[in-house]
């Protein structure tokens, strides 16, 4: 409602009543605030908590899409915008919600202690490991934490060099229970769960990208907002950007950033590799490019990521290749042809922005540029934390020190450093790992600790 009879202009005098009608319908925001919600919590603004009559640590019932429901503890977060609720990726997946969707939050529900809970790991998440998942994953996960579990939920448990995702198959005495010390948790690892398409939480999240906080905020505003709320932009009469250029050295996370935006906002993601598309037979490059844009429009909202775009669109004045000239014009035509409502954004990545054809950087094409530079000390620490989150670190490991000592390392170098340290550890433990076996026992994984020496060694290779 809210439209007045003649002008169609919105009457704000009743706006406050409208909002009050459903104070429990909140927009889904990411879990990247001051408080970082886990698998069993959501963060609300103190104002929303007050309005809903929810106290710190109360259980709330969340209702998402496809009649999915789950229960979480409510935590206050000053950084949570009004009208929003911060939900981590796991819980968002359980509720089949994307960022910007509406979730219903019902205050304070009573949830009984579970008598029996049956969970099973997803087949793809335990591939290559064997042994007692209960001891290694579930026991620590439920220790000292009355976690709510609802039938049909899945949850990811980190650690032991490998994160494992479980599905809740059955709960007694109700469909939602709290897992207490006397709850029998039954884990059927011999019959792992197969994933249905809708349950796939693929793609990296915002929490997988480190050291680019500012750029992430900018790119989200430019890409995620228009993809999620095209109406908002139409109403305001502003055109969201069609193209964004990310520039910076290789391995700084440009691809990762674009993928995270796509998976968090639920957009279709296509990668076009510059050199690869150019190596195609004459004439095919243009056709391929046209097809990419056509598919992206069909599957919209979409993000087209053009890696090494300088190979596709070099400066026409400086190139003599006939193919390059034709492909540049084709790309310009395709970008100009994107309808503002198509909900397709093209993200180009290059290490050499100045070698691009200038026509491409004009208004209405790639008219926004973001510098994704080499991370500083704080950024490096953030990235190290991300890449070691499944690694049990020995007490002598000082990630801050390593962040200081890795001047000049980009994200890809730091990721490699972490995996090299793990490899070094595994080399040392070859006596307890049987290479002939197809799987590694979780007890062995559980006993592994990455030490300072492993990381030091990795820095030298
Ligand atoms: P680019 O596209 O800039 O060449 P990528 O996104 O392909 O870099 O980075 C390669 C890999 O390095 C990523 O998949 C990730 O594992 C790691 N990485 C790079 N940058 C970052 C970052 N900022 N934060 C976390 N990991 C990163």
Distance CA 361, CA 198 (A): 38
Mean pLDDT of the chain: 87
What 3-state DSSP class applies to 43?
Answer: strand
Residue 57 CB-density burial (10 A; 0-12 exposed, 13-18 middle, 19+ buried): exposed
Read off the tokens for 427.
Answer: 């080399």
Atom nearest to 250 CA in ligand 1:
4
Residue nearest to atom 15 of ligand 1 (CA): 412
For the CA of 256, the closest atom of ligand 1 is 6
Tell me the DSSP string of 212-255: -HHHHHHHIIIIIHHHH-HHHHHHHT-PPPSEEEEE--TTSSHH
Distance from Cα 134 to the centre of ligand 1, integer Å: 33
Among protein residues, the one whose CA lies closest to atom 7 of ligand 1: 255
| 184-236 pLDDT, tens digit each | 999 987 788 887 755 555 678 888 999 998 999 899 888 888 887 778 887 88
H or E segment at 129?
strand 129-130
Q: What is the ipTM of this complex?
A: 0.99
CB 345 within 8 A of CB 304: yes
For 172-185, what is the mean pLDDT? 96
Can you tell me which atom of ligand 1 is nearest the CA of 259? 6
Give distance in angstroms: CA of 221 to centre of ligand 1: 21
Note the pLDDT tens digit of each residue in 23-76: 889 999 988 889 999 999 999 999 999 999 999 999 999 999 878 899 999 999
CA 216–ligand 1 middle distance (angstroms): 13
How much distance in Å is there from the Cα of 159 to the middle of ligand 1? Answer: 21
Phi-psi category of residue 266: left, alpha or beta, with phi > 0 → left and psi -120 to 50 → alpha: left
- Dist. CA 365 → ligand 1 center (Å): 25
pLDDT tens, residue by residue, 121-152: 998 888 888 888 898 899 999 999 999 999 99
Q: What residue has token string 């990296």?
A: 204
Nearest of 99, 349, 338 to residue 225 by alpha carbon: 99
User: What's the DSSP call for residue 385?
Assistant: H
Phi and psi, residue 245, nearest 5°: -110, 125
Q: 384 C-alpha to center of ligand 1: Å?
A: 12
DSSP H/E element including 446: helix 442-447
Question: Residue 391 and residue 452: Cα distance in Å, rounded?
Answer: 13
Which contiguous run of DSSP H or E holds residue 171? Answer: strand 164-172
Q: How far apart are CA 377 and CA 408, in angstroms?
A: 9
Nearest Cα neighbor of 119 from 140, 137, 145, 144 is 137
Distance CA 307, CA 250 (A): 10
Ligand 1: residues within 6 Å at CB? 209-212, 250-256, 349, 383, 386, 411-412, 415
* DSSP-based three-state secondary structure for 325: helix
């Amino acid at each position: 409602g809210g439209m007045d009879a003649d002008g169609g202009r919105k009457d704000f005098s009743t706006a406050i009543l409208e909002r009050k009608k459903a104070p429990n319908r909140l927009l889904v925001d990411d879990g990247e605030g001051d408080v970082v919600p886990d698998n069993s919590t959501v963060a609300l603004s103190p104002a929303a908590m007050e309005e809903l009559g929810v106290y710190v640590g109360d259980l709330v019932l969340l209702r998402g899409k496809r009649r999915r429901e789950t229960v979480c503890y409510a935590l206050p977060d000053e950084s949570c915008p009004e009208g929003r609720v911060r939900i981590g990726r796991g819980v968002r997946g359980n509720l089949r919600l994307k960022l910007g969707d509406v979730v219903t939050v019902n205050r304070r529900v009573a949830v009984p202690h579970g008598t029996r809970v049956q969970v099973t790991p997803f087949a793809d998440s335990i591939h290559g490991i064997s042994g007692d998942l209960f001891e290694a994953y579930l026991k620590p996960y439920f220790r000292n934490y009355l976690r709510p579990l609802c039938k049909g939920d899945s949850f990811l448990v980190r650690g032991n060099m490998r994160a494992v995702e479980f599905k809740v198959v059955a709960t007694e005495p109700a469909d939602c229970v709290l897992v207490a010390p006397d709850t029998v948790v039954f884990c059927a690892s011999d019959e792992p769960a197969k994933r249905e398409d809708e349950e796939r939480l693929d793609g990296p999240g915002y929490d997988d990208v480190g050291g680019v906080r500012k750029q992430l905020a900018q790119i989200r505003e430019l890409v995620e907002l228009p993809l999620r709320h095209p109406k908002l932009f139409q109403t305001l009469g502003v055109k969201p950007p069609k193209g964004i250029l990310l520039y910076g050295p290789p391995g700084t996370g440009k691809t990762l950033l674009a993928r995270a935006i796509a998976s968090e906002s639920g957009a279709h993601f296509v990668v076009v590799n510059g050199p690869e598309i150019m190596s195609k037979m004459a004439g095919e490059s243009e056709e391929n490019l046209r097809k990419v844009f056509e598919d992206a429009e069909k599957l919209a909202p979409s993000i087209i990521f053009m890696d090494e775009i300088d190979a596709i669109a070099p400066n026409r004045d400086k190139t003599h290749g006939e193919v390059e000239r034709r492909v540049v014009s084709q790309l310009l035509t395709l970008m100009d042809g994107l309808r503002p409502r198509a909900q397709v954004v093209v993200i180009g990545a290059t290490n050499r922005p100045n070698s691009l054809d200038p026509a491409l950087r004009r208004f209405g094409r790639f008219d926004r540029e973001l510098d994704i530079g080499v991370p500083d000390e704080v950024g490096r620490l953030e990235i190290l934390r991300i890449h070691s989150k499944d690694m049990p670190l020995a007490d002598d490991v000082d990630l801050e020190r390593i962040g200081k000592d890795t001047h000049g390392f980009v994200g890809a170098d730091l990721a490699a450093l972490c995996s090299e340290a793990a490899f070094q550890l595994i080399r040392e433990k070859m006596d307890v790992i049987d290479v002939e076996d197809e799987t590694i026992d979780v007890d062995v994984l559980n006993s592994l600790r990455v030490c300072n020496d492993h990381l030091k060694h990795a820095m030298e290779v």
